[in-house]
Each structure stands twice: as structure tokens, then as C-alpha cells.
A and B are shown apart, each in its own frame.
Chain A
């Protein structure tokens, strides 16, 4: 209960701060309209392409049983913990000015393509959300009973008919929700827009908040834009909430459905091509970062190590805050019917990091130096952003512990503290560790609110890396990217393993 109040209070305080300073003034200026339009257009395009491209990939993965498939499906979960700025650097290595694609185009005598602008932003969003869409669709394919595939095999239906009778109805159910989820996620995009967008024609509202705050230090305009962002994301989240599906967090693919159809050579070739292209698109940038990062490791300035250390303790603080909020909330939601989790999810989807940052800055500014508090604020905002995901992961574990053994605890007369100690923590620790790992990795890699109020002495690794990129110190940035990637994976791995270590439940 207390945790729920704290979460709501943290968000409401930010609203209060924004409300104090926002002056509608002359309403929406042309630049604001452009930001609003760009935000919506890029989110629509990102959602559309992510979902459309996910269909053949998920279809191929669903009907092929091949070595390494499990690994590939697990890798589809990686973007959750992949720092945005690392992925951007990877995409630049492939699609950037000196990237592989442009080198190839140069050899072929084709004109150079630029990754900056709308298509670059959409490309990066597709990179992050194609895996999510694929996992959601795979879940849909797995929800088709194996008996149905047996039946179409018995009837010897051609692939087109299988698609019509089984797959199209399923897609019609899942696609709108998946697209809505990605649309809402992309509405609050900041780091991608910061690195690949910019300029009057490619600025999201979130980026506009940052620019108003950072370059003009126009607090009332930043607050006004925050309200615009809140209305847009909040309205979209409310509309989308009914159709947004559950996000699959585990490795998936527990259930094997035997497929008898799609054995022809053409179908086989199409599937192989889809999986190959998908794999190259998703793994290529990561491979590029790793290779150039290895070369750049030696060229990193000492500030990188300092920032890395800062990032680690921000992540640790963030995990602690998340656990302090999520554990009681999960216990509270688990004994209730649905509803509570949805409300928290709604807050998480509509409250954007920069909006929270601006709101808190306005409130803190008269009392204390916000820059001095930038790291704790970053940790708390990261925890709030991770909270909806953490709850989705933890609540089922807590709920199943309580349904199985709650009666036993009651008859033993265990207090609520003892029930946590002897029942819930031991039984849900795999889920708790997983949620802590996700939060830690998200926090390590987050480039959001820290960019708002930071000074050269207080930077996290993602911000330091962004500064190196802006200064065209590409090798050093690549080294920092590799370090950041390693840290995010290590934080996730340690927490996740810690939850499952020595557990035989």
C-alpha cells in the first residue's frame, strides 16, 4: 500500500512541478507542432515496420525446428537489456557515413545514404522493437493448438490455406496489440532521437524538452512540452491498454508444436532467408560494436572508467529502489484481482523520464542544487521506469507461491514478515532476480534524465559515451560501448543467476 502511494506520489510530484511552471503562453508554436507531428509519425512508422517485418520472421521461427533456434529466440529478448546508445553506435557502424552499407554503395557507384533523420530514427526503433514484436507473435503462433496443425496436415492444405484458416485469425488478434505497444513505447523515445534525429525536422517532444531545458534553460517551455508529452503518451496508453498483450519475459518456446506443413522447398527457402536476414539485421550491429570496441579499448580516457564506476552504483541504487517499491506492490497485487498491475503499467507507459526529470528539477531547484542530486534522481527515475516490467515478472511468482502455500502459512500462524521470509522470497527469487537484472541493465544503459542535469563531474557511462561520440572520438566511443555492453550484460547475468543460484524449486 505504502509503496503504491510512494510511486503515485513520485509521479504526482513531478506533475506538480510541471504545473507550477508551465505557461501555455501563445499555445503551440510551429516548432512544437513539428515535434508533435514527428513524434507521432515516427512512432507510427516504427510500429508498422516492426510488426510487418516480424510476421515472416516469427512465422519462420514457429514452423522450423533447427539447431540454435532456442538461442536465437533467447537473443530476441536481448534488446530489453541492450543500452540504446550501444545499439545506435552499432547501427552507425553498419548504416552510417563510413558504415558497411555506404562503403558497398560507394563500390557500386551508388549515392551515399544518410542514417540521420526520420528513417534513421525509425530504423533504430525497428531494431529494438522487431524482436519484441517477433516474440509476441511467436507467442501467438504457440497459442494455436497442435491438433489444428495436425488437422491441416491431414487435409493436406497448401501453405496459403494454412495461413488463411489458422494463422490469419491469430494475427488479427495479436497484431493490433503488438503495434499499439510499440507505438506507445516509441512515443517517449529520447536517446534514439538525440543521437539520430535532431534539427527542426526530426525532433521528438522528449528531445524538445531536453533542448528547451539544456540549451535555452527555458523551464516554462520545458514544462509546457512535458504536459504535451504527458497528454499524448497518456492518451495513447489509455487507448492502447485494452489491446496491449502481456509481454513475454521468459525464454519462451517451452511448448513444442509438431508441424507437418510447409515442407516444400520454396517454403523452406523463404523461412531460411527470413531467419538469416533477421539474424544479420539484429546481430550485425552488435558484432560491429564488439569488433571496433576491442580496437578502441586502449584509447579510452580515464573519465570513462570513472563514469563506469558511477553507472554501477547508480544501477545498484536503482535496483534497491525498484525492489523496495516492487516487492510490497507485488505482494499487494498478488492477493487482488487484476487491475492494480494495469494501473501501475499505465503510469509507467505514460510518464516519460524527461518529464519526471523536469518536474523534479523545478521542485528541487529552490531547495537544493539539482545537479548535486542528479545521480540519485537518475536512479529513482530508472527504478520507476523499470517498475511496470518488474511487476509483470514478479507478480505471477508471488501469486503462485501464495496460492500453493498461503493456507499453510496461515495455519502455522506466520506473520506477514515471516510469510515473506519463509515463503515468498525463497519461492519467487528466480523472478525477483530476473526483475532486478532487467532493472540493473536498464539503469546501467540508460541515457535519459541524466542528460538533463549533469555536469562534467557527474556522468554515467552512457552519457560519457555520447560525449565522446559528439566529439568525434569514435574509437574511444566504441571502446566505451563495448565496456557498457559488457556491464549491462554482467549486471543482468549476476542478478538473474543470483536469483536462481542453488535453487531447486
Chain B
């Protein structure tokens, strides 16, 4: 469970207010116009954007002032999710152990994760030798071995074509179901919402609204969301 208690997030002149709860294991799409603060909201959960006031807790544990690495959160950014000079196995392995000295159990978990995302046999390649889709899979393998209760996706598949993006979303959905992680995902596309999300957080006018069930909301959007969807 992810709880924003009277949170004010600030970045430069920009302000975003959030007072809401995301239930455990839900897959939540964060939508809204460009510049409304979708990435800022995820950045606050990840620990990259400081809170001005309010409190943030994950599964009852207060993380308002925790370092990004100390939060029970894994995150994929729009780009630079893999170190180009390390192999796929090293990149994913960093999610298990930053010193990369893996024991047998961890090695097994790593190869299982790579197999699970469909990269078996490619573990010694570097990101530059893989296609865009395979790079996304490698990043997801790391999310899988990190096995954190909250997964944040800040449009990591934006550069992929439609078919590949759908494929990745299906994979994300399956992985989230398997691990039981709570998922927050920024997106622009209504079809992504329908494909993956249980709930939707609509961000607009300096306010992140409480999550509402995706199906009902998208079928019958309130005026502001209707204006955004067009």
C-alpha cells in the first residue's frame, strides 16, 4: 500500500498536491496532460523529487525522507535504464547485489529472471548489441530480481513501436501479477490504460486525484479528463 498524506511536491516553481492511497498489488496508470506532473509524482515516490510538506509511506513504513536506494521501490526511467558498458547479466545482477558477487542461489534467480523475460542465452551481450525490445526486457529482468513491493514505470517503452509496446505491457502485467507488486505507470495512451491498469490517477491543474477504477472512469470520464482524452 502506497499512501500520500497531504503531500505537496515542489520542483522549481512547479507545485503538485496529492492526498491519496494506492492499494497493494494494484496496477495504476498515471495519466494527464504534458507538464501536469505525472513524472514528478513518480519521482516523489522514487525519492528523486523532495516533498515540501506531507508524508509518504509504503506498506506502513514512512519513506518521506528516505534515500532513493533505501526505498522499497524499483524504477524504470524514459531512457538510460541500462549501463551500456556492462553485459545484460551484469546490468540485471546489479539489482540483486551492487558488488555483483552472486552466490549460487542468486545466480539461479538471475538466470531464471532472464529466461522469464525471454533473454536466455543473451546474458553476455551488451545493451548496444540488442534490439530496443530486448533492452526493455533486460531492464524488466532487473526489476524482477530486485523484487521490490512497488514498481514505477516512467514511460520506459515510449520509444518502442505500438506492437512492441503492447508486448512489453503484457509482460509487465504478467510480472506484476506474479510478484504481487504494486505498479505505477505513467502513460499518454488510453489503450495502455485499458490494456494494463486496474486504476487510474488523473493528474491535472496541480493536483493528483485519487485512483478510480479504470474501466468505469474511461467509459464515463469527468469533464476535465474528457477534455484531455479528446
The interface of chain A, by Cβ under 8 A from chain B, is 404-405, 407-408, 410-415, 418, 422-423, 426-427, 503-505
What are 9 A-B interface contacts by the 8 Å CB criterion? A407-B48, A410-B47, A411-B75, A422-B94, A426-B83, A426-B86, A504-B85, A505-B84, A505-B85
* Closest Cβ neighbor of A403 among chain B residues: B80
How far in angstroms is the closest Cβ of chain B from A117? 54
Taking CB atoms, residues of chain B closer than 8 Å to A503 are: 85
Known: A413-B70, A504-B128, A505-B84. A407 touches B77 (CB 8 A): yes
**One of B46, B47, B68, B83 near A405 (C-beta < 8 A):** B83
Digitize B11-49: 1 where CB-to-A-CB distance is under 8 Å, 0 elsewhere: 000000000000000000000000000000000001110
Taking CB atoms, residues of chain B closer than 8 Å to A413 are: 67-70, 98
A411 touches B74 (CB 8 A): yes
Taking CB atoms, residues of chain B closer than 8 Å to A504 are: 84-85, 126, 128
Taking CB atoms, residues of chain B closer than 8 Å to A414 are: 69, 94, 98
B98 touches A418 (CB 8 A): yes
Tell yes or no: B147 within 8 A of A by CB.
Answer: no
B contacts with A: majority SS: loop
Contacts A422-B86, A422-B90, A503-B85 aside, 19 further interface pairs with beta carbons under 8 A come to A404-B80, A405-B80, A407-B80, A408-B80, A410-B67, A411-B68, A411-B73, A411-B74, A412-B95, A413-B67, A413-B68, A413-B69, A413-B98, A414-B69, A414-B98, A415-B98, A418-B99, A504-B84, A504-B85
Taking CB atoms, residues of chain B closer than 8 Å to A405 are: 80, 83
Taking CB atoms, residues of chain B closer than 8 Å to A422 are: 83, 86, 90, 94, 98, 100
CA distance A303 to B18 in the complex (A): 78
* Closest Cβ neighbor of B74 among chain A residues: A411
Taking CB atoms, residues of chain B closer than 8 Å to A426 are: 83, 85-86
The interface of chain B, by Cβ under 8 A from chain A, is 46-48, 67-70, 73-75, 77, 80-81, 83-86, 90, 94-95, 98-100, 126, 128
CA distance A110 to B84 in the complex (A): 65
CA distance A284 to B70 in the complex (A): 63
Taking CB atoms, residues of chain B closer than 8 Å to A427 are: 83, 85
CA distance A426 to B126 in the complex (A): 13
* Closest Cβ neighbor of B146 among chain A residues: A412
Taking CB atoms, residues of chain B closer than 8 Å to A423 are: 83
Taking CB atoms, residues of chain A closer than 8 Å to B48 are: 407, 410
Taking CB atoms, residues of chain A closer than 8 Å to B83 are: 405, 408, 422-423, 426-427
- Residue among A411, A422, A505 having the largest count of chain B Cβ atoms under 10 Å: A411
**One of A404, A407, A412, A505 near B98 (C-beta < 8 A):** A412
**Shortest 9 CB-CB distances between A and B: which pairs?**
A413-B69, A426-B85, A410-B68, A418-B98, A414-B98, A505-B85, A411-B75, A404-B80, A411-B68
**One of B69, B80, B85, B126 near A412 (C-beta < 8 A):** B69
CA distance A487 to B196 in the complex (A): 64
How far in angstroms is the closest Cβ of chain B from A229? 45
B81 touches A408 (CB 8 A): yes
How far in angstroms is the closest Cβ of chain A from B149? 15
How far in angstroms is the closest Cβ of chain B from A398? 14
Taking CB atoms, residues of chain B closer than 8 Å to A407 are: 48, 77, 80
CA distance A422 to B87 in the complex (A): 11
CA distance A25 to B55 in the complex (A): 70
CA distance A414 to B98 in the complex (A): 6
CA distance A422 to B99 in the complex (A): 9
Taking CB atoms, residues of chain A closer than 8 Å to B77 are: 407-408
CA distance A422 to B101 in the complex (A): 13
B85 touches A411 (CB 8 A): no
* Closest Cβ neighbor of B82 among chain A residues: A408
CA distance A65 to B141 in the complex (A): 50
CA distance A418 to B90 in the complex (A): 13
* Closest Cβ neighbor of B70 among chain A residues: A413
How far in angstroms is the closest Cβ of chain B from A418? 5
**One of B46, B90, B99, B128 near A411 (C-beta < 8 A):** B46
CA distance A408 to B67 in the complex (A): 13
How far in angstroms is the closest Cβ of chain B from A222? 50
How far in angstroms is the closest Cβ of chain A from B178? 21
How far in angstroms is the closest Cβ of chain A from B97? 10
CA distance A407 to B74 in the complex (A): 12
